[in-house]
Amino acid sequence: MSAVRVYGLASCDRCRRARQWLAARGSEVEFVDLARTGLEPATLDRWLDALPWEALLNRRSTSWRALPLGRREGLARISRRSAKRGRGDGGQDKARESSGAQAYSTVRRAPEPSATQDCPPDPRPQPRIGEKCGLDEARALMLEEPRLVKRPVLETQDTVQVGFDPDAWERVL
């Protein structure tokens, strides 16, 4: 195993830019094409230990939009609720603890709609602080469809970073 791996899709523009940037620096990295090889459960578990699942699940991709509404809606609602309740920083406290926090810390979430007469509050029980809301569902989705993982993912022996940020990658490499 190479000391540095980059996971992504060969057809992804950001992954191509990251690979070109690494080649220009002369860095030796192993590229893993998730579309071709799939995603190993142990690999995803390492990433989920380093980052919150919200950082890894790409809810802007065409693969996400192609999912049935029922599968998307539950995770999208859980993500917005956990960002608003119980974790005032939107889940970034875990990202700050990891050394791969630089790329994740720029993720922005859409504000949750306010409750009005047209849009009453969600009557379902709300999660308690510290619950693993959506983790199992998100993990199962990413294992089933690796294209849902935000990319590229840079993994070194002690760091996991999501998204291509040359400055953050320079500090790691």
Give the total number of structural domains in the chain: 1
CB–CB of 31/8 below 8 Å?
Answer: yes
User: Cα–Cα distance between 55 and 43 in angstroms, integer?
Assistant: 15
DSSP annotation of 14 reads H
Please write the tens of the pLDDT for every residue from 101-139: 444 433 344 445 454 455 556 555 554 433 456 888 889
CB–CB of 158/99 below 8 Å?
Answer: yes
Residue 58 belongs to a domain: yes
Residue 103 belongs to a domain: yes
Told to judge if 15 belongs to the known catalytic residues of this protein, a careful annotator would answer no
Residue 156 belongs to a domain: yes
Question: Whole-model pTM?
Answer: 0.68
CATH of the domain at 52: 3.40.30.10
Structural domain range at position 17 = 5-107+130-172
Options 12, 15, 119, 133, the catalytic residue: 12
Q: Where are the alpha helices (DSSP H) in 26-160?
A: 34-37, 41-50, 53-56, 62-66, 69-84, 92-97, 101-104, 135-144
